């Protein structure tokens, strides 16, 4: 059982990128030799069958341990599929749904009665559209510069996907703002990549403090503070009574005792998290 699980996890990490490349080639009009397609599809079929068998067995085991159907399925999936693969798949789903919500103007996601949305996407609008412009120029330029049909087709598909990714990421930041709950809790998000929930009783203090960190997204520094910068800056600092655990963009776990994040109107955030403001919303 352990050997099969290890084989499946390694196969997922190896075959999924290969299948993605194959799909991109087909989408770009590249002719794939039948033998290569047959071998790849058979390998994927065997991988899916083995993974489904493991998930079924693990699901039964978790059900015997007392979990409900949904919790047992999630636990069984976590046992078989690597965390990074699960997170990447979830990111793609959330990016697509966020893009559709943005296009159809359905409003922010995850906002309930009494909650206060805290927008942050405007801080990076110029940067994101600058990236999009560069991606479009690159797509057009490479379309004329690359003479080899196969490389031309693959590059074109990748560049178009890159343009979509930039737009969808910015759209997810627009429709997934930070949220101050009616109970005084705080939900920090960065688009489809990050979602951190901080209970009200963990918040010790909140203040305005503009910083320009150079670290990566949600990396915890030596003082236990995680930066969630937008366009290279943060405007609010939240200090906690005890650390809060969260999952980073690629599935690794982390823990922080404070967060620096960006908000368009930091004064409103600080005021909304005061005890008297929380009491008024309840």
Query: pLDDT-based confidence at 242, cuts 50/70/90?
Result: very high
Least confident of 29-38, 174-183, 212-221: 29-38
Residue 43 lies in a domain: yes
**114 lies in some domain:** no
- Mark which of 81, 115, 143 sits at the end of a domain: 81
> Residue 279 has what pLDDT?
63
Instruction: Give the pLDDT mean for 87-113.
Output: 88
Residue range 124-152: mean pLDDT, rounded: 83
- Please count the other Cβ atoms lying within 10 Å of the Cβ belonging to residue 111: 16
The answer to whether residue 234 sits within a structural domain is: yes
pLDDT in tens, 139-153: 888 877 777 777 777
**Domains identified in the chain, total number:** 2
Of 118, 154, 155, 129, nearest to 234 (Cα)?
A: 118
| DSSP letter for each residue of 144-184 | HH---HHHHHHHHHHHHHHHHHHHHHHHHHHHS-EEE-TTS
Rounded Cα gap, residues 172 and 102, in angstroms: 8
Q: Choose from 61-65, 116-120, 229-233 the range with maximum mean pLDDT.
A: 116-120
In a domain, residue 146? The reply is: no
Q: Please indicate, yes or no, if residue 125 is contained in any of the structural domains.
A: no
| Domain final residue pick, 81, 113, 140 | 81
Q: What is the pLDDT of residues 47-57, one digit of tens each?
A: 777 777 878 88
pLDDT for residue 233:
92
Cα–Cα distance, 246 to 256 (Å, whole number): 8
In this structure, of 63-77, 143-157, 195-209, the range with the lowest mean pLDDT score is: 143-157
Q: Which residue has the tokens 């609008």?
A: 125
How confident is the model over 233-249, as a mean pLDDT? 92
Residue in the structure block whose two tokens are 């942050």: 120
- The predicted structure's pLDDT at residue 120: 95
3-state secondary structure of 186: strand
Domain containing residue 227: 178-281
Region 237-245 average pLDDT = 94
Of 3-12, 220-229, 237-246, minimum mean pLDDT range: 3-12
Model confidence at 220: pLDDT above 60? yes
Does the pLDDT value for residue 245 go beyond 80?
Answer: yes
Domain boundary among 50, 81, 112: 81
Q: What is the dihedral angle through the alpha carbons of 2, 59, 249, 161, rounded to the nearest 10 degrees?
A: 100
In a domain, 153, yes or no: no
pLDDT at residue number 54: 78
Q: Please give the average per-residue pLDDT across 124-136, as a whole number.
A: 89
Q: Is residue 194 part of a domain?
A: yes
At residue 29, does pLDDT exceed 60? no
**Per the domain annotation, does 136 fall within a domain?**
no
**Which pTM was predicted?**
0.75
Residue 21, pLDDT > 70, answer: no
């Amino acid at each position: 059982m352990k050997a099969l699980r290890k084989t499946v996890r390694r196969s997922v990490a190896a075959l999924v990128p290969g299948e993605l490349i194959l799909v991109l080639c087909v989408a770009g009009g590249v002719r794939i030799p039948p033998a290569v397609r047959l071998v790849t599809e058979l390998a994927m079929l065997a991988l899916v069958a083995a993974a489904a068998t493991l998930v079924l067995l693990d699901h039964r085991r978790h059900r015997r341990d007392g979990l409900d159907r949904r919790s047992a399925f999630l636990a069984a999936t976590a046992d078989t599929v690597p965390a990074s693969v699960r997170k990447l798949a979830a990111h793609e789903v959330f990016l697509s749904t966020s893009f559709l919500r943005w296009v159809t103007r359905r409003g922010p996601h995850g906002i309930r009665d009494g909650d206060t949305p805290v927008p942050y996407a405007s801080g990076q609008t110029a940067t994101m559209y600058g990236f999009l412009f560069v991606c479009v120029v690159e797509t057009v330029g490479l379309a004329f510069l690359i003479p080899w049909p196969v490389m031309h087709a693959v590059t074109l598909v990748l560049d178009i996907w890159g343009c979509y990714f930039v737009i969808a990421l910015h759209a997810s930041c627009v429709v997934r703002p930070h949220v101050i709950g009616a109970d005084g809790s705080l939900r920090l998000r960065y688009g489809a990549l990050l979602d951190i929930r901080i209970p009200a009783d963990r918040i010790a203090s909140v203040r305005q403090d503009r910083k320009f960190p150079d670290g990566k997204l949600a990396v915890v520094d030596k003082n236990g503070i995680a930066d969630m910068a937008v366009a290279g800056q943060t405007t609010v600092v939240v200090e906690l009574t005890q650390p809060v655990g969260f999952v980073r963009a690629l599935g690794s776990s982390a823990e922080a005792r404070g967060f620096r994040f960006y908000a368009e109107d930091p004064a409103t955030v600080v005021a909304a998290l005061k005890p008297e403001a929380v009491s008024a919303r309840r």
